[in-house]
Chain A
Amino acid sequence: MIDFQLFLTPTLETIYMVFLSTIFAVLIGLPAGVLLVVSEGNHVAPNPTLHRILGLLVNISRSIPFIILMILLFPLSRLIVGTTIGTTATVIPLSIAAAPFVARVVESSLKEVNAGVIEACRSQGASTMQMITKVLLPEALPGLVLGITMTIINLIGYSAMAGAIGGGGLGDLAIRFGFYRYELGILIIAVLIIILLVQLMQYAGNSLANAIYKKRS
């Protein structure tokens, strides 16, 4: 018989990791994405050098495979959290892996904002900061919600991978019990819970975005 108590802690750990790393990834990625957009050639605060450097940074960090990024970031985890093992330590590489993704997601949503609307607000004397907070972000909100949903789902996947090198959570459970101890049942249930989490998040994200669209139509 499978002990369901076994799954409770890893599930909570996964949720904890994903939740925290989403927050940090958005804290880093959102400003980066906004800067990427507004610094572009004909946008509100053109700055080609900044635009190119940011784009390069984002591309480089997105090119590194997550598992390698995690190992590369061990020293940073040790510095901030004091250890490289466990859920809290895993939040560091997860956040840093997801941040450039968030930046690109934010960039593509903000680019969808109608150029005419931006022009109209410039004609009213909006400063760059006002343009970002009062025009770009609110106008792009449904796209941002969907993009962050996508980030959360990616992070659920990454967090399971992090389990392989001592990250805790459902991935860790699946590897330790299912792989090393041949308890296939536990592996399958762990995967099912991950699927359930992904479904729930996608459903919540879609509903929220649709609610915003509906309010505006």
Chain B
Amino acid sequence: MIQLKSLTKTFPNPDGKIMAVDQVALTINTGEIFGIIGLSGAGKSTLVRLINRLEEADSGEIWIDDTELRQLSINQLNLERKEIGMIFQHFNLLQSRTVEENVALPLELAGMKKNQITARVQETLDLVGLADKAKVHPAQLSGGQKQRVAIARAIANRPKILLCDEATSALDPQTTKSILTLIKELKKTLNLTVILITHEMEVIREICERVAVMENGAVIECDAVETVFSHPKTKLTRSFVTSLRPDRKSVATKDSTSYRLKLTFLGDSIREPLLSRTIRKYNVEINILAAEINQLATVPVGNLLIEVSGSKKEIESCIHKFQQQEIQVEVVSA
């Protein structure tokens, strides 16, 4: 269990002091994935750096199980840090080392024997699915692969805790998903406690069990993710929740009777009486939510947001019909 007790950190600035972290008290249970969300400048990155003392707090306590980290000498702290892996937004891999040498570094720092290191590196690269890139230098890898190497490096010493500082913020949505899935898997296999900093609510929804919302250095809301999603208490949290894009996957599998569709059509198809024909042919009702026509350089482009109600089968066949007429169909939500 990780317990933060009234942690405070200020930074000097020309007009006095900036309160980066303000009296933060949090309890993070062993084996959970705990999210901390906030806008940039909210103090979440500083907070996570206080935990492994990359930044020194002004006051407060940091308890990891029975150890208070702020009481440790630098040598004791360096030992404790081997129990706390950390990954970063920009991966921070060493260019001077290959993938396997990067993963070996924390083991070398911990004084592990050469032959043990080789075995552990191999095993860890297997865990993150990059065994085939062992001899490659990081410069040759994609962002997602670099983050996998960074994760392998962070877990090489088999820590109890993994700190993720905006670990997916430099990645595209697809890669973000795969990295989050990996973290979730590793949490289970290695029994990790994960603290994850992000400014994206989607990341929180994807893997976190509990979430704390930070604003101006203070935690303004902290609860189970479902609770925060269904009953956001503060204005900031509400804005995070509404910023979420609809989850397409859950819509597509749902046996719903009402679909919201976005239709995009080009050129001549714009002049077809598409909707009235559809209503006549299929047993559905259509409600127009929004419509616009934009004139591109050569052709007009129409965008139409509609809600189609009816049986699932009927809706699917009318989606099929739209697609045959070369209209792009996107299921927005149910």
Contacts and interface: CB of A to CB of B under 8 A. Distances in A.
Q: Is this pair of chains taken from one and the same complex?
A: yes
Interface of A: 114, 116-117, 119-127, 130, 134-135, 138-139, 141, 215-217
Given A124-B106, A126-B78, A217 B96 contact: no
Contact of B86 (A114, A120, A127, A217): A120
20 contacts: A117-B94, A119-B88, A120-B88, A120-B150, A120-B153, A121-B94, A123-B81, A124-B106, A124-B153, A125-B77, A125-B81, A126-B109, A127-B75, A127-B78, A134-B105, A134-B109, A139-B94, A141-B96, A215-B137, A216-B137
A134 B93 contact: no
A156 B93 CA distance: 38
B146 to A, nearest CB: 12
Greatest chain A CB density within 10 A among B75, B105, B137 is at: B105
B95 interface: yes
Nearest to A212: B96
Q: Which 10 A-B pairs have the closest CB atoms?
A: A125-B81, A120-B92, A125-B78, A138-B96, A116-B92, A123-B86, A124-B106, A217-B139, A125-B82, A117-B92
A134 B107 CA distance: 12
Interface string B62-105: 00000000000001011111101110101011111100000001
B186 to A, nearest CB: 17
A121 B81 CA distance: 10
A142 to B, nearest CB: 9
B52 interface: yes
Given A123-B52, A125-B77, A139-B96, 20 more contacts: A116-B88, A119-B88, A120-B92, A120-B93, A121-B109, A123-B85, A123-B86, A124-B109, A124-B153, A124-B157, A125-B78, A125-B109, A130-B108, A134-B109, A138-B97, A141-B96, A216-B95, A216-B96, A216-B139, A217-B140
Nearest to A120: B92
B203 to A, nearest CB: 20
Interface in B136-150: 137, 139-140, 150
Given A124-B82, A138-B97, A217-B139, A119 B54 contact: yes
Majority SS at the chain B contact face: mixed
B92 A114 contact: yes
Contacts of A121: 94, 105, 109
Nearest to B77: A125
Contacts of B86: 120, 123-124
A121 B106 CA distance: 8
Greatest chain B CB density within 10 A among A122, A141, A215, A217 is at: A122
B110 interface: yes
Contacts of B150: 120
Nearest to B106: A124
Contacts of B157: 124
Contacts of B75: 127
Interface in B107-143: 108-110, 137, 139-140
A117 B93 CA distance: 6
Nearest to B80: A125
Interface in B35-79: 52, 54, 75, 77-79
Contacts of A139: 94-96
Given A130-B109, A134-B105, A139-B96, A217 B137 contact: yes
Contacts of A138: 94, 96-97
